[in-house]
Amino acid sequence: MSVAGKPRCPRRWHHLGLCHKTFIRAELEPGINLADAFPTTPFAASFAVLERVIAVKQNRETQTIKGIITNFRTLQSEFADDQEVTAATDTLRRKLLERNAKDAVAARAAVKPVVHTILIVGKKGGVSVADKDIYLLTDTT
């Protein structure tokens, strides 16, 4: 992000109250990479929740396919003519896939918009300048 008008004084950036940074003109002119400047972001908590939900989903899917459904072939070959075993494996497969579908719904529900504000305040002599020099940028994703 670069600041239009190339300010004459340093700018202090407040990123969701997590940290404050002051940049001088020479840093602002080429633009600031906000991801580098603010490694702790308002997205971190939401991403952590999503990652946990996805991990549960993936672990269950792996267990379902590798640990259970793959072994149904062995059961079906051992009990080829047994309709009761066929019905039981069909029921288990359906229930396991239903559980996986619920996990997929939970993962989609865990994707939440993150609203954050970056406040850029002009500074002069350590004191914020008039309100007209305060820029408020809001990003909603």
**pLDDT, tens digit (0-9, with 9 covering 90-100), for 60-113:** 999 999 999 999 999 989 999 999 999 999 999 999 999 999 999 999 999 988
Are residue 78 and residue 54 in the same domain, yes or no?
yes
Q: Count other C-beta atoms under 10 Å from residue 43's C-beta.
A: 12
- Regarding whether 71 and 47 lie in a shared domain, the answer is yes
Do 117 and 138 touch, CB atoms closer than 8 A?
A: yes
The whole domain housing 36 covers: 11-42+114-140
Q: Are the CB atoms for 108 and 50 separated by under 8 Å? A: no
What's the N-to-C CA distance of the chain in angstroms?
A: 17
pLDDT at 53: 97
Q: What are phi and psi of 48, to 5 degrees?
A: -65, -45
- 98 in a structural domain: yes
What's residue 138's pLDDT? 40
- How many domains does one find in the chain? 2
Report whether pLDDT(6) > 60. no
Q: What pLDDT is recorded for position 1?
A: 47
Is 50 contained in some domain?
yes
State the pLDDT at residue 45.
85
User: In this structure, are 26 and 56 located in the same domain?
Assistant: no
Has residue 3 been placed in a domain?
no
Banded pLDDT at 36 (limits 50, 70, 90): confident
The verdict on residue 100 lying in a domain is yes
Residues 97, 86, single domain; the answer is yes
Residue 17 lies in a domain: yes
Question: pLDDT by residue (tens digit) across 120-141?
Answer: 666 655 444 443 333 334 444 4
Domain co-membership, 28 together with 50: no
If asked whether residues 80 and 135 sit together in one domain, one would say: no
Residue type, 72: F
| 16 plus 68 within the same structural domain | no
Q: Which two tokens stand for residue 107?
A: 């993962």
Cβ 96 vs Cβ 42: under 8 Å: no
Q: Are 118 and 15 in contact (CB under 8 A)?
A: yes
Question: Does residue 6 belong to any structural domain of this protein?
Answer: no
